[in-house]
Amino acid sequence: MCVYLISPIELWQTTKRDDMNVLFHVDSRSGQGFVLNPTTEEVITPLVKQYIKSYRDLPVSLYQMNNKFRDELRAKSGILRGREFMMKDAYSFHESQEDLQAYYDIVTETYFRIFRTLGLGDQTVLTFASGGDFSKYSHEFQTVCPIGEDTIYRCGKCNVAVNKEIIGEQQTCPSCDSPELIEQRGVEVGNIFQLGNRFTTAFDLTFRDRDGREQHPVMGCYGIGPSRTMGTIVELSHDERGIKWPKSVAPFDAHMVVLGKEKELLDRADDYYHQLQGKGQDVVIDDRDNVSNGEKLATADLLGVPTRIVVSKRLGSQNVEVKDRHEENAQIVSFNDYLNR
Helix (H) / strand (E) element for 140: namely: strand 137-144
Per-residue pLDDT, averaged over 14-18, amounts to 96
Closest CA relative to residue 330, chosen from 339, 340, 320: 320
Q: Specify the pLDDT at position 3.
A: 65
pLDDT category at 2 given cuts 50, 70, 90 is low
Per-residue pLDDT, averaged over 145-152, amounts to 92
- H helix runs in the chain, sequence order: 9-14, 41-49, 97-117, 198-202, 226-236, 263-278, 293-303, 335-340
Residue 116 lies in a domain: yes
Q: Is 327 exposed, middle or buried (0-12, 13-18, 19+ CB in 10 A)?
A: exposed
Per-residue pLDDT, averaged over 294-301, amounts to 96
Check whether the bond before 226 is cis (ω within 30° of 0). no
Q: Specify the pLDDT at position 202.
A: 97
Answer yes or no: do 259 and 219 share one domain: no
Domain coverage including residue 19: 6-236
At 29, which amino acid appears? R
Answer yes or no: are the C-beta atoms of 283 and 273 closer than 8 Å.
yes
Give the residue from 185, 206, 236 where a domain finishes: 236
pLDDT in tens, 19-74: 999 999 999 999 999 999 999 999 999 999 999 999 999 999 999 999 999 998 88
Per-residue pLDDT, averaged over 169-190, amounts to 89
pLDDT in tens, 238-264: 999 999 999 999 999 999 999 998 999
Answer yes or no: are the C-beta atoms of 318 and 335 closer than 8 Å.
yes
Is the pLDDT assigned to residue 103 strictly greater than 90?
A: yes
Name 192's bridge partners.
139, 222
Q: Specify the pLDDT at position 216.
A: 98
Residue 113 lies in a domain: yes
Task: Count structural domains, the chain.
Answer: 2
Closest CA relative to residue 4, chosen from 46, 44, 31: 44
Answer yes or no: are the C-beta atoms of 321 and 330 closer than 8 Å.
yes
Q: Specify the pLDDT at position 131.
A: 80
High-pLDDT (> 70) share of the chain, %:
99
pLDDT in tens, 304-331: 999 999 999 998 889 999 999 999 999 9
Residue 86 lies in a domain: yes
Give the residue from 166, 201, 236 where a domain finishes: 236
Q: Specify the pLDDT at position 132.
A: 74
Answer yes or no: do 109 and 205 share one domain: yes
Answer yes or no: do 261 and 220 share one domain: no
Is the pLDDT assigned to residue 80 strictly greater than 60?
A: yes
Answer yes or no: do 68 and 100 share one domain: yes
What is the spatial distance between Cα 227 and Cα 237, in angstroms, rounded to a whole number?
15
